[in-house]
Chain A
Amino acid sequence: EAQVTQNPRYLITVTGKKLTVTCSQNMNHEYMSWYRQDPGLGLRQIYYSMNVEVTDKGDVPEGYKVSRKEKRNFPLILESPSPNQTSLYFCASSPLTGIRYGYTFGSGTRLTVV
């Protein structure tokens, strides 16, 4: 089944403790992206990647890192999480030539930083 897999689905952590949210897709998509969703703000892009070793900032990149060492994986790293990073996170992917058809989204990761 074609899908984007995010893990974990829920995560509670403490301020300052490094964490990684994994994202993997099995559709050979070039384009991958991370979004955060906050009440009243919709979804905002954090980082995106157009292919292996090609990443760039979105609208809200502060406090996050990403890497794209393999085409299928695009982990989101919070090196020193803070409470304002408590949010719902989505990974999404698309073929570069198919972005006009929309993304395939993962199931989301609910992160709470205390």
Chain B
Amino acid sequence: AQTVTQSQPEMSVQEAETVTLSCTYDTSESDYYLFWYKQPPSRQMILVIRQEAYKQQNATENRFSVNFQKAAKSFSLKISDSQLGDAAMYFCAYTVPDRGSTLGRLYFGRGTQLTVWP
């Protein structure tokens, strides 16, 4: 079974501090892509960052970076210099792009609700 586990249903951080959201996944495939999506109260699903499994270098997008540990099947998201606008539900997800009948399916975790305190 393809699964994604986010073990922290809720997290909080002080403005300007750093927070790390955890994610582990389970797949037997070697080629896949990992994502973090942000869902603010507006409900819109916003892609924050993506990582290609064949790349060892961790992806970075401004204040957002990941720690990708392929052997451990771990994909954590680090938010630096947290801002009030970072408050949202964060979903970890992955897809296996060339896999037959499940082509294109995004497997999501259950989400981590991030609160940012001023």
Contact = CB atoms under 8 A, between A and B. Distances in A.
Contact of A45 (B37, B47, B106): B106
A90 interface: yes
User: What is the interface residue range for chain B against chain A?
Assistant: 20 to 34
A101 B104 contact: no
A45 B43 CA distance: 17
Interface in A54-98: 56, 58, 88, 90, 92, 94, 96
Max chain B CB contacts within 10 Å: which of A48, A88, A92? A48
Interface of B: 4, 9, 33, 35, 37, 42-45, 47, 50, 52, 91, 93, 95, 97, 101, 103-106, 108-111
Given A43-B106, A44-B108, A102 B44 contact: no
Nearest to A105: B45
A43 to B, nearest CB: 4
